[in-house]
Every structure is written in C-alpha cells, then in structure tokens.
Amino acid sequence: MGGAGGTGGAAGAAGGSGGAPVGAGMQTLPGCANLGVGDEVCSYSWLYDTAACANRGCRKLVIYFSGGQESCPALDDANSYLAYYKARGYVAACAMAFQTSNGSAQFPRNKEGPRFDMLVEAITSDPNVRAGWSGEYLLFSGVSHGASGPVVTMATSTDDDQPAWQGTVYTAACFNDGTYDAAALLAFGFANQCRDATAVVPYSRNYGRYCTWPAAANGNVAATWPDPSTCATADSAADTLVGGDVTRFAIHDWRLAECGSALDPCTRDVLPAPPIQTLCNQIGAAPGYRCDFASFPDTGHISCGIDAATIGSCDAWFQARLAARGLN
C-alpha cells in the first residue's frame, strides 16, 4: 500500500519543488476515495516553527489522528494541540481518515487500514514535513476513532513494519479513549441506552458498523433495539484486540488512556474503560513491550487529549520515554 500512499501525497508541497519549506498547511489525498473503503477523501494538516525546525532541525514528529467527528484544528489557533506541540519542538500533523462523521461510521475498523496507511505514507514523505523533521523520533497519537482505527490497523496488517511508520531512531504510541473490544462497546451502549438524539456515539452507530440496523428499530427507543448478542461477526472479532497477540505491533512502547469514566456514560464517557486497561496490561506483559495506562475520569471523551488536564500528557510521556533511552 506504500505506492498508493506516495501517489496520494504527491500534490501541493512547495518545499519539495525548490521553494522554502512551508511550516503550516493542509493536504488532501484524493486516492483515499479509490481504496474501496468509502468515497470520501483523506486529508491532513501540519504545523511547525520554521525557525526552530530549519534544515530538518526538529527531531520529533507527532501524527495525531482525528476522532470520528473528523476535524483538525485551525492552523492559526494558538490554543490547539497542534500549537501545543509546535511550541515544544515538534513537527505536528493532524490526520483525518474521512471527512465526515457519517463517513467514519460506515466500516469496521480493520477495513479502514488502507486509509490510515495512505495517510501515514503521505505525511512522513511530505516534502514540507520532511523539511522540518529529521526523521528520528515519531509519535502516533489520537482520540476515539483516531485511537481505534490506527491501532486496529497495526494489529491486523504489516503496515507498521514499513519505514513510513517508523522513526529512524525511536517510535512510540500514545492514544486516548480508543475502542479495542467490539462486544464490550456494543454492550456499553445497549446497557446505558445511548440514544441517537443525545449520545455522542449512539448504540445504533456502533451496531451499524458491524451489522444491519433493523428497519423496525428506533435509535431513540431502547425497547426496539436488537440485542448486542445478535451482532457478532468476523469483523467485530477482528476489531477486538483484547485477548489477541500484541506482539503483532511493531511499536513496543505504548501509553493508552481512558477518559470520562466518572461522567455520564452516553454524553461524556462514551465508551468503556476496562478494555483499554486490559489491552494495555497485555501489551505491558509481553516480553520487550511496555504500556503505561492513564486515567482521566473527569475529562469527557470529546475533550480527551485537548483539555488542560490531558493536552500535555502524551508529550510528557514521550519526553520521559526518550529520556529513559538517553535521547533528547
């Protein structure tokens, strides 16, 4: 899939055509619409300090995958997570696997791998990104769909074994509030009656990712809903990483976090915390692997990774891991 990524990322990089590198910009990948996983394009934006990163002077690149709402911060937003990373010496990129929340709800996560691969291939080869980034340290991050799809891709493909997914010196993953157990997610939405009209991620959305939502079922009337047990498929099994072989991951250093476990389940918590900790424990127990679990029970799902309590958590963890290896 690397060739497709290169094709999708070929357009529009001024730094690669002899001009000065551009420290902020956005790129669309039309090729994502031709991968057989929906007809929406992918896109990404990047931001860095051109003075600090001159001549590939910044050693750290963070790729932050958007949640299922599919949005990236404005490049002139001084309070965004992109600006936060920029101020700390990163080349920062926000990646959108789809363009709309409807697009990101259509497919099992294991089917989305080609989209995430195309994004990573394009970002890490983009001439403007490469003009600021030395290629050495790479951090993958994201929230919700952006903490689920990329992780499932790593577990169900060999994409993360490819050079485009790796820093030349060190690569790590720090994800917030992802889903790693399809049955547990369905049970959570069903038990808490997460309705279409009020829930951030309603039960019908999660059920519809794997099974056809019955015509007679009303997303706002829980008594009409199909039981979670009626939706067990090969795709829901593939999207369930809990209990699987974590040595499939090429990345060995992880931090996984849950957000919102002390808050309302449908409007603030949104997905179950136990599978996140279980997967992290499994990773940490594998020889040569490490996973640090973090909990932010009072930070809602939508704010996870961007509010005051969480915006710096992945940077702090990554810096600590670099220091532990004698890197800076």
Q: Delimit the domains of the chain by residue range.
A: 2-181+245-324, 182-236
Q: What is the pTM of this model?
A: 0.94
Cross-strand pairs, 173: 140, 254
Tell me which fold the domain 2-181+245-324 belongs to: Rossmann fold (3.40.50)
Q: How far is CA 264 from the centre of its chain?
A: 23
Task: Please tell me whether residue 36 adopts helix, strand or coil conformation.
Answer: coil
Q: Tell the burial category of 239 from Cβ atoms under 10 Å away from its Cβ (0-12, 13-18, 19+).
A: buried
CA distances to 168, 187, 201, 235, 298 from 240, in Å: 30, 13, 18, 9, 26
Residue in this structure with the two tokens 């007679």, named with its chain if needed: 216
Q: For residues 286 and 12, what is the distance between their CA atoms, to the nearest angstrom?
A: 42
> What average pLDDT does the structure give for the chain?
94
Q: Mean per-residue pLDDT for 15-26?
A: 70
pLDDT at residue 12, as a whole number: 35
- Across residues 209-233, what is the average pLDDT? 98
Burial of 224 (0-12, 13-18, 19+ CB in 10 A): exposed
pLDDT, tens digit, 9 for 90 and up, residues 275-300: 999 999 999 999 999 999 999 999 99
Q: What is the DSSP string of 126-137?
A: -HHHHHHEEEEE
H helix or E strand, kind and range, residue 3? helix 2-8
Q: Average pLDDT of 317-326?
A: 98
Asked whether residue 99 carries a pLDDT value surpassing 50, the answer given is yes
| pLDDT tens for each residue of 244-275 | 999 999 999 999 999 999 999 999 999 999 99
pLDDT tens digits, 125-168: 999 999 999 999 999 999 999 999 999 999 999 999 999 999 99
CA–CA separation, 225 vs 213, rounded Å? Answer: 9
- DSSP helix/strand/coil, 216: coil
Side chain identity at residue 206, one-letter code: N
